Amino acid sequence: MTVREIVVVPDQVLRKKAKTVTKFDEKLQTLIDDMVETMRQAPGVGLAAPQVGVLERVIVVEYYETEADEESEEDEKAPKKLYTIVNPEITRRSADVEDGTEGCLSVPGFQGEVERHIAITVKAQTRYGQPVTLKLKDWTARIFQHEIDHLSGVLFTDLASRIWKPDGPIEDTV
């Protein structure tokens, strides 16, 4: 596995629409493995293929199941849950939405307040091309929405009601 360079704004690859994956070959498996390694090294909880300069509909997500697990002592933590997802599409969105703070490995040094659906259903394929349907909520749904947005060239800063540097003043974007 190789750690790939993460593309950052203003690189235009981040604004392009990713293509549907049709070949589930060794090249795809290498891309996915490299994305997982890159996300972990960064460190982050999700990464989309355009963030490593590849315009294909691939995302990886890894997080702790609950906030309690994330805050536990290292030896008490449950393992993180890893998703490697190809060609994801959000097929259902809850009517309920919630504001939350987001950051992005491709927009270093900034955070924003973004409204997201609390629950979503995602139809996709596994890394081997098998169909999968995921019913996601809360933090997991937020991560997936953020990463799937990358596949359409959308950054969290496009959706944020306000953006700030964690160590600086808040700037309204509305």
Mean pLDDT of 93-107: 97
The pLDDT of residue 6 is above 50? yes
Tens-place pLDDT, residues 131-156? 999 999 999 999 999 999 999 999 99
Q: What is the mean pLDDT of residues 153-167?
A: 94
Q: Are 126 and 153 in contact (CB under 8 A)?
A: no
Those residues with Cβ within 8 angstroms of residue 113's Cβ, 6 or more apart along the chain or in another chain: 99, 100, 101, 102, 160, 161, 162, 163
| pLDDT over 80 (residue 97) | yes
In the predicted structure, residue 14 carries a pLDDT above the cut 90: yes
| Cα 153 from Cα 15, distance rounded (Å) | 4
Active site residues: 147
Question: pLDDT at residue 13 above 80?
Answer: yes
Task: Check if the beta carbon of residue 85 is closer than 8 Å to that of residue 60.
Answer: yes
pLDDT of residue 48: 98
pLDDT > 70? residue 171? no
Question: DSSP letters along 4-54, please?
Answer: PPPP-TT-GGGGSPPBPP---SHHHHHHHHHHHHHHHHTT-SEEEGGGGT-
pLDDT tens digits along 103-126? 999 999 999 999 999 999 999 999
Looking at residue 63, its pLDDT comes to 87
Per-residue confidence band for 174, with pLDDT thresholds at 50, 70 and 90: very low
Distance, CA of 102 to CA of 156 (rounded, Å): 7
Question: Average pLDDT in the 27-42 region?
Answer: 97
Residue 107's pLDDT is: 97
Fold of 12-172: Peptide Deformylase (3.90.45)
What tens digit of pLDDT does each residue of 40-79 get?
A: 999 999 999 999 999 999 999 998 765 555 555 555 556 7
